Amino acid sequence: MNRSGQWWTGDSPSDLDEYVTMFSSQTYTAQKVVHAACASCGSDSFTVTFDEEEGCAVRTCASCGDAKALLDSDEYLDDATLEGAECPCGGSVFNTAVGFAFYADSSDVRWVYLALRCTEDGVLGCYADWKIDYAPSGHLLQAV
């Protein structure tokens, strides 16, 4: 991971792990990071739409077009106004990961962070984050 420029950049999707952990360290630190992979073709490159206010996001595979609502987003999409993620370079295809912060002494998720790495220039960013306010919520780790 390179932090020397205006934007932090990474050479690979794994750089999202360190980035989201550092990004979240001032609030609820992400203790686990799960990377997205397309269930249909295995690709790790997606366009992403999200609504931070509603707490939802959808990833669409850049290779095969398969779309998946992340986490529990299906429950919130009817009220959402989704906007497309865009890198400062104008790129719109990303490696996608979600950072998870947990309640103390629990496997229940407290907060999630939508972390993206632009596949064009490697710029890293946390595009949205929101609270998870129900339990049990450990199943969300399998819904990235």
- The answer to whether position 96 is within a domain reads yes
In a domain, 1, yes or no: no
What's the confidence (pLDDT) of residue 29?
97
**Do the domain assignments include residue 4?**
no
From first to last of the 144 residues of the chain, give the pLDDT tens digit: 888 889 999 999 999 999 999 999 999 999 999 999 999 999 999 999 999 999 999 999 999 999 999 999 999 999 999 999 999 999 999 999 999 999 998 899 999 999 999 999 999 999 999 999 999 999 999 999
Residue 130 lies inside a defined structural domain of this protein: yes
The domain of 21 spans 15-142
Task: Assess if residue 6 is contained within a domain.
Answer: no
pLDDT value at residue 42: 97
As a whole number of angstroms, the distance between CA 74 and CA 59 comes to 12
pTM of the model: 0.94
Give the Cα-Cα-Cα angle 64, 68, 70 (nearest 5 degrees): 140
Q: In Å, what is the CA distance from 126 to each residue of 61, 63, 123, 130, 134?
A: 19, 23, 10, 11, 23
Looking at residue 5, its pLDDT comes to: 85
- Note the pLDDT of residue 105: 86
Specify the number of domains making up the chain: 1
